A and B are shown apart, each in its own frame.
Chain A
Amino acid sequence: MPPRRGSGFDGADLFGAAPPPPGPPEPRQTAYSVTEVTGLLKAAVEGALGQVWIKGELAELRPHQSGHWYFTLRDAEAQIRCVMWRTYVQRARSRPAEGAEVFMLARPTFWEERCELRFTAVTILPTAGVGEQQLAQLQVRDALAHDGLFDPARKRRLPPYPETVALVTSMDGAALRDMATVARRRWPAVRLLVIGAAVQGDPAAQDLVRALGIVNRLAVDVCVVGRGGGAREDLAAFDTEPVCRAIAAVRVPVVCAVGHETDVTLADLVADVRAATPSAALELVLPDRAEVGGRIAHLGARLAQPLRRGIHLAAERLFRSEDRLRHAVVAGIRRDRDRVARLGGLLDALSPLRTVARGYAIARDPDGRVLRRVADLPSGTAFRLQVSDGSVPARVEGTA
């Protein structure tokens, strides 16, 4: 893992401790090759110091026709040889004058081919144009940018309906009162959890870091870091690296509102959303109850609509079903009646009574059994003869 840059708290360690240079190699019997030696030196030299800010007097500036700048940076005791590649030269706003005191952001580069040490510069700023505080901010900005804290892809979206909002702000400033006023007007359903912190002066940075740490221990949906307007130097805490890193470490989206329209602090850049004032921050964070009420009313109307239509459709369907049912029943009954009539006719046709009616007679013994054969009727047998309108007694006379 590369050394983490600028994790220090007091600003003295802004670029993080470089890893210790590798110690001298183990003594050995065979000779080193030149390449081996320069390779070892390169690793040792470049490993000893990362990219750092160096203050010194600019001298012997030689712009090369290729566009690169070659120069020396020195103070009373020592000097270093430097190069700034064309890409970075083109980004420089102006060419610093020789003899000027400058801040240079550079890293040591060991050129193995010639066993030479040069510093490769990225930025040169004349100290005359840069206050110490500004330089500190530049240094912090560089470290934060290196770790991707300004990356737009990091920015989180604000939740649409926050239930609980953490406010990191001064307990006695106007900012807190302003934020509560906006919340009351806009979305009183919210719960505001205030974590008091000093927002200016020496303890501010440390106190803000502590307060932001507390935010991570609370169940909140969003965090607002705010303070009222003030002079630029009052905002110094919001340019410190610990505060910026603490903002980046908050687990919920952070809105930074340090009450300054014109100056943007580093904390503003690290936060997910920047607001001009604490009141504006709450306007951004909280939904408007009138708007939400309207949306709910609209949803309510839409909720009832399809069901009303659904019931209407179902009722229609029911009526249609009833009709069909009635039709079915009536048709069934008619069918049954016809069938009964047809069966009745058939039954009628098959009835022996119909045959008798046509002039046939049926002979039956006294028990009512039908007598069909000669053998059933020996001479003298008494039987009854059934004709169409009744029966008469009869007797067999003689033999067949």
Chain B
Amino acid sequence: MNEAPLSLATTLRRLEEIVRALEAEDADLDRALELFEEGVVALRLARERVAEAELRVQRVLEEAGGDLRVADLDV
């Protein structure tokens, strides 16, 4: 049911790792550029996630057969 391919927690954790690796100064420029590019993507993902403005509220209903159905809910 989870649509997000990568959770914000994972993204931020990766971003922290990248920043720390870059700050460690032992990466050569090629590697640093690679990390930087990945970091930029992670940063964009994280920003998008935080900027999401529309709260989704859904109701979970159990059908007669026991299946679950999810319906949008206006709260």
Q: Using a CB–CB distance below 8 Å, which chain A residues touch chain B?
A: 159-161, 163-164, 166, 171, 176-177, 180, 183-184, 188-196, 210, 214, 217-219, 289, 292-293, 295-296, 299-300, 302-307, 310-311, 314
Contacts and interface: CB of A to CB of B under 8 A. Distances in A.
B57 A163 contact: no
Contacts of A177: 75
A183 B55 contact: yes
Contacts of B43: 296, 299-300, 303
A81 B70 CA distance: 59
B68 interface: yes
A194 B58 contact: yes
B58 A296 contact: no
A184 B55 contact: yes
A321 B55 CA distance: 56
B34 to A, nearest CB: 11
Contact of A296 (B4, B12, B32, B59): B12
Nearest to A311: B29
A296 B46 contact: yes
B75 A180 contact: yes
A218 B68 contact: yes
A295 B27 CA distance: 24
A164 B19 CA distance: 28
A180 B55 contact: yes
A192 B56 contact: yes
Contact of A303 (B22, B29, B50, B55): B22
26 contacts: A160-B9, A161-B7, A163-B4, A164-B2, A177-B75, A180-B75, A183-B57, A189-B50, A191-B56, A193-B70, A194-B60, A194-B73, A194-B75, A195-B59, A214-B60, A218-B60, A218-B68, A295-B12, A296-B43, A299-B12, A299-B16, A303-B36, A305-B22, A306-B19, A307-B22, A307-B33
B12 A171 contact: no
A193 B55 CA distance: 11
Contacts of A310: 22, 25, 27, 29, 32
Q: Taking chain A's interface residues, is the majority helix, strand, or loop, or is none over half, making it mixed? A: helix
A3 to B, nearest CB: 31
Contacts of B4: 163
A390 to B, nearest CB: 70
Nearest to A195: B60
B58 to A, nearest CB: 6
A163 B8 contact: yes
A303 B32 CA distance: 10
B8 A194 contact: no
A188 B36 contact: no
Nearest to A294: B50
Closest 8 A/B residue pairs (Cβ): A306-B22, A189-B52, A180-B75, A161-B8, A188-B55, A219-B1, A161-B9, A303-B39
Contacts of B18: 303
A304 B75 CA distance: 42
B68 A214 contact: yes
Given A160-B9, A196-B59, A218-B68, A307 B32 contact: yes
A205 B69 CA distance: 23
Nearest to B20: A302
Contacts of B15: 296, 299, 303
A171 B59 contact: yes
B1 A296 contact: no
A214 to B, nearest CB: 6
B57 A194 contact: yes
A295 B15 CA distance: 11
Interface string B43-75: 100110110111111111010000010100101
